[in-house]
Structure 1
Amino acid sequence: MEKQDQGKDWILRTQSSGVERIEAFFHGSGYAMHRHDTYALGITMAGVQSFQYKKSLRNSLPGNTMALYPDEPHDGQAGTEVGFRYRMLYVEPSVLQDALGGVALPYIEGGISTDPRMFHALRNLLEQMDGNVEPLQQDDGIFELAAAMDAVSGKRPRRHAADFHAAQQAREYIHASLDRTLTLDELAQACGRDRWSLTRDFRSFFGTSPYRYLSMRRLDMARRLMTQGKSLVTVAAMTGFADQSHMTRLFTKTYGIAPARWLRMVQPVK
């Protein structure tokens, strides 16, 4: 994504698998009163983001999350002269409902939350604005977001019966699929479970999500191949990443150091 001129108002937009993402910067008035038939879920990145919602003026600061309920009128404007920058996710209620499993849609009082669960779940979905999001990664993020919204809305936690056999099958299937794109639908079909039940199963028994587990196993393989002398381009292709930059971003985020630097620093045990 190219850097934008902060002196002008701008909007960047991407769409993947029915989920729309935008990043935007505005001085003054951004939007007149309007409404969506989707959830509008966002994070304020800089400045003060002000909007009329439920007959009151709301002010979102960096680190806050916005969760506007479907079909609720709202506008948008800068709360200070320096303008505001934000990222927003528009997601159909049915997408979250699939993950929630038939309960009432979560409602966040006031449209703004300071709960870190909401912020982290939404930030993970909004990190990549280039549309290069793997299907399993997006499904994983949607599940986390739905769970966070359900928890933050104040509902009583619900228990579910977890299927260890299905989770174990999913784990084995992931190990056999490290070098290619894997979807949650494919994984669920292989294990004989519906997609969201399998996600819950996997988290219950292995402590992480299917996509996170897949990513970590890919990185394990990548490190082995790197120490064997394979080039970073070759390693990325052999471990199922979209390209070298995709692998580098995840490697750096996970280990706090870029793969090329890690490779220069790592020493074999004698």
Structure 2
Amino acid sequence: MKRSPSMPPVSDWVIRSTQPGAIERIEAWFGSHGYDPHRHDTYSIGRTLAGVQSFHYKGALRHGMPGNTLVLHPDELHDGMAGTETGFRYRMAYIDPALIQAALGGQPLPFVPGGLSSDPRLFHASETFVQGVDHPLERLEEQDAVYDLAMALRAVAGKPRGRKRLDYRSAERAKAFILEHLHLGITLEMLERASGREQWSLSRDFRALYGTSPYRFVTLRRLDNVRRLLLDGFTLVDAALAAGFHDQSHMTRHFTRSYGVPPLRWLERLRPGQQRAGSYKPADTELQ
């Protein structure tokens, strides 16, 4: 059904789950354009609730509709837009590949071609994560659901393309070092010393196991901190510096590439009640 010209426009909105946990979950509605091309370092697992959710992925325009499961692989470029004039509504969960690795135990990350699946195994395995964001997930429920999702991803993706054995333990040591030293200017030489693995072999293993490069992993963890700081009322400048970026413009460029919108636009889309009182100060000039 087309929207009548006399009907008032509905503003785009995003609701984020505020429950503490390992999985970020959102529900959103967009009337037309949603996001510019960007990349996450997580699996993006979702469900279109209404309308048509269109996106470019792996060189083609895809169309998510109710009944499909969206499965976007870590670090794959994609965008988002309404496929019809009526807009679209969806839920999405962003799942750290390290959680999937905890179940896979060092296998290459499963890749589901096309970004969409009609396989009932993925549909059922993702059900826990696409409940309403106001539905709290118990810790054990979340952990069980991650395991079920990892097994479904592996089954649906099929046998991974052949490659040499991966050094999972060394990659885990490198990841732990990164998380403990985000305030430093981390280098591959530092990761080589921390992991005990030759730096270029480590870099290849890291990509296969976690879906992104060590540098992108560092950048995304710093952006996680930026988002938390912005919601706590920090200005763009203060959040950028506190999270380890050179300056505001450096942070904004990475933020837009990673989330498809600049940081203030990201804040504005959060529905009332999702931002804390005085959650951001718009005195900063947004850099597009």
SS of the equivalent of 1:90 reads strand
In the other structure, the counterpart of 1:210 is none
TM-score (structure 2 length as normaliser): 0.51
What is the letter of the counterpart of residue 123 of structure 1? E
* Cα deviations by residue, 1:89-147 (Å, 9 ceiling, x for unpaired): 00111011101121111100011000011111112222141262110010011111111
In the other structure, the counterpart of 1:69 is 73
Kept in 2: contact 1:16–1:131 (CA 8 A): no
SS of the equivalent of 1:42 reads strand
Q: Unpaired runs of 5+ in structure 1? A: 157-270
Q: Which segments of structure 1 move beyond 6 Å, counting only runs of 4 or more? A: none
SS of the equivalent of 2:109 reads coil
Structure 1 residue aligned with 2:122, among 118, 126, 136?
118
In the other structure, the counterpart of 1:192 is none
Cα displacement (A) at 1:7: 2.5
Structure 1 residue aligned with 2:10, among 3, 7, 22?
7
TM-score (structure 1 length as normaliser): 0.54
Distance in 1, matches of 2:132 and 2:102, equals: 23
SS of the equivalent of 1:59 reads strand
Structure 1 residue aligned with 2:27, among 5, 14, 23?
23
Kept in 1: contact 2:27–2:132 (CA 8 A): no
Larger radius of gyration: 1
Identity %: 53
Alignment of 1:180-199 (within 5 A): none
Distance in 2, matches of 1:6 and 1:67, equals: 30
* Cα deviations by residue, 1:19-53 (Å, 9 ceiling, x for unpaired): 10000011110001111111111111111000011
Larger RCO, structure (CA 8 Å, separation 6 or more)? 2
Distance in 1, matches of 2:159 and 2:67, equals: 23
SS of the equivalent of 1:17 reads coil
Alignment of 1:43-122 (within 5 A): 43-122=47-126
Distance in 1, matches of 2:159 and 2:76, equals: 21
- The root-mean-square deviation of aligned C-alpha atoms, in Å, is 1.8
What is the total number of aligned residue pairs between the two structures? 152
Distance in 2, matches of 1:8 and 1:99, equals: 40
Q: Unpaired runs of 5+ in structure 2? A: 1-7, 161-288
Distance in 2, matches of 1:48 and 1:6, equals: 18
Kept in 2: contact 1:125–1:142 (CA 8 A): no
Alignment of 1:76-225 (within 5 A): 76-130=80-134, 132-155=136-159
Kept in 1: contact 2:93–2:130 (CA 8 A): yes
Q: In 2 relative to 1, CA 8–29 (structure 1 residues): closer, same or farther, beyond 3 Å?
A: same
Kept in 1: contact 2:68–2:116 (CA 8 A): yes
* Cα deviations by residue, 1:34-82 (Å, 9 ceiling, x for unpaired): 1111111111111100001111101111010111111111100000000
